[in-house]
Structure 1
């Protein structure tokens, strides 16, 4: 079993590594060592996060995905959260979050099979609840932002909708990593036309040799 720590912040202006000491202290108190770190500045509301999927690609059955809070892992809409849970389940990765004490026992292998399965079910329900709360907080903030935009538009100061650069940067990174278009669609929910547009944009930026 390896402990893989995931650290995320939404923008480059924020410190994604802020909780590193907390995760180290948690692991040390339980006699564990963090085998690898995955740090990125990406929105938790999008599924296409390169470091998160690098972690999932590296993980073996029984590995622990350690996060400070559930919202560092997900502010996803319901459909994307289900996709991520499917990825976690298929790889048998155990999520341990510092803000979910019930999950802490999953950082060890001391439970018998029955107890382990029972706690996995309980933790799954709690993760669903906390992920839903995190998404609601995200939606509430977006709604307040939209209200501000509507007010700005009424005053002639609104410049229109911007490109979803966070999502598109994630798609570009997945393309560079040779992920299939079907995988990118499944992970992001975007159309093939969007992937094609970003792939074309990438090819146009390759310098002539």
Structure 2
């Protein structure tokens, strides 16, 4: 069984590799070897994630997609989650998440077709539930942040997010050297809006 591990963190300040040892240990306990790693710093609320879709493009029927938690795979809206599930199903991938014990059976050869179908159905239902919980958590946190910012603005104490001075100086230097915005994004993981702001500042 070809195991493809997916690691994700939301920002460049977070360590996307944090769960690598846990995934390795899980695979080793089952006599499996992780043959390919896909790592990125992108929000789970976005469907457009280059490394996740590179994994899907590389995958063959029967391969395993291994993640630490379902929310590493999805904090998507219901509509985008359905689109991602279609992509996964079209490639006949087995999705296994460490926080979803019902998926662990997918990491072994199931004894018969009935058992396989039963666990696949239960697993799909549980994944839908956890994906919905992950999205709710994402929406709740965004709402709380917005409420906090509103209160701080009303009190005159809101200062906004601290600037990443070192990173931004590096971006300015790359722009001076004539690097393209895409090259800078690949090197730093920042958004095009950030590059545009720094480019405008330097103009």
Shorter-normalised TM range: 0.7 to 0.9
Question: CA-to-partner distance for each residue in 1:114-156, whole Å, 9 max, x for gaps?
Answer: 2111111110000000111111111110010110222234345
Matching residue of 2:13: 13
Aligned to 1:65: 65
Structure 1 unaligned spans of 5+: 161-171, 174-196, 202-209
Q: Whose Rg is larger?
A: 2
Tell me the residue number matched to 1:52: 52
Distance 2:134 2:70 in 1: 8
Alignment partner, residue 85 of structure 1: 85
Aligned to 2:173: none
Q: Distance in 2 between matches of 1:66 and 1:32?
A: 11
Aligned to 1:25: 25
Looking at structure 1, the residues matched to 159 and 48 of structure 2 have their Cα atoms a distance apart, in angstroms, of 27
| Aligned residues: CA RMSD | 2.1
Q: Aligned residue for 2:76?
A: 76
Aligned to 1:193: none
Residue 185 of structure 2 corresponds to none
Partner of 1:125: 125
Q: CA deviation at 1:159?
A: 8.9
Q: CA deviation at 1:86?
A: 0.8
1:134 counterpart residue number: 134
Map of 2:151 onto structure 1: 151
3-state DSSP class of the match of 1:17? Answer: coil
CA distance in 2, matches of 1:14, 1:82: 27
Q: Secondary structure in 2 aligned to 1:129?
A: helix
Residue-by-residue CA offset, 1:44-87 (whole Å, 9 max, x unaligned):
11111100000000011111100011111111111111111111
Q: Give the alignment of 1:91-102 within 5 angstroms.
A: 91-102=91-102
Q: Secondary structure at the match of 2:17?
A: coil
Write the deviation string for residues 4-52 of structure 1: whole angstroms up to 9, x where unpaired: 0000111111110011111111101100011100001111111111000
* Whole-Å separation in 1 of the counterparts to 2:110 and 2:95: 16
> Over residues 156-181 of structure 1, what are the superposed CA-to-partner deviations in whole Å (9 max), with x where a residue is unaligned?
56699xxxxxxxxxxx97xxxxxxxx
Q: How many residues are treated as equivalent by the alignment? A: 165
Give the TM-score, by structure 1 length. Answer: 0.73
